[in-house]
Each structure stands twice: as C-alpha cells, then as structure tokens.
Amino acid sequence: MKRLLCGLLFAIWFAIPAFAESDIPSIAIKEEPIFDGLGFSIKGNAGEEYAVTEFHLSKLVQVDLRNQSVTGEKAYKAVVAFKGEKFPVKVISPDFKKFEADIMDPKTIGNPQGVAIPIGHITF
C-alpha cells in the first residue's frame, strides 16, 4: 500500500509540471516614438501671452517575447499638451505626409454616453 501511494505521489509530482506549460506566447506592448514636437501658441493680437505646446506621437506594437517578432496590428498613441495640460489625440491618418488627428476633450472620454468630443484638429 505504501509503495502504491508513493508511486502515485511520484507520478503526480512529475505530471503536474508537464501540464503547467502552455504554448501561449508571451506578448508585450512596445511603444516606439515617431515624432516629438515642441513649440508655442500665441494668444491675443499683440502676442501678450504665449503657451508652450508639446506634441508626442508614438506607435504601439505587440512583440512576441520568445522570438522578438511583431504580432498583431500597429496602433498609434498621441498626446498634445498646452501649458502642461495633456489632451488625448485620436489619430485618423498616421501617414506622415498627410497626418490627421483630432484633439479630444479629456472630460468627455469615458462619459456614460460613450461619446468623446473633439475640440481641435491637427494636420501635417
């Protein structure tokens, strides 16, 4: 009886790690910067007041950690900052020659109606 019990425990001991491994690849999201811009905007006719303006555009890519290959489609992430306040940007056309994006109101993102309101537009 002891031999049977020890044999069963021994078999379980070696069988559990065999089932614990999976073929699901480890995937990470890698952010690759494409464009960083720094400028200013002027308020008023005489230019009495100006604000520092930043624009950051990056590409999000899913990378398989086993062989470093790219999996899935590319997504784009962009942020515009006026006077340090960040506004999310929805990229419409990521082509750099005809880039288009909408500046979204951060207060309307995630609202109960599910509609984010654009408050500006960017084109290159």
State mean pLDDT over 106-117: 71
Rounded to two decimals, the pTM is 0.62
In angstroms, rounded to a whole number, what is the distance separating the alpha carbons of residues 58 and 56?
7
Per-residue pLDDT at 47: 61
pLDDT at residue 86 in the model: 87
**What pLDDT is recorded for position 112?**
67
At 25, list the tokens.
């690849």
Task: State residue 120's pLDDT score.
Answer: 85
Q: Of 117, 116, 101, 97, which Cα lies nearest the Cα of 57?
A: 101
Separation in Å, CA 108 to CA 80, 82, 90, 121: 16, 18, 13, 16
pLDDT digits (tens, 9 = 90+) for 1-23: 778 877 777 777 776 766 656 56
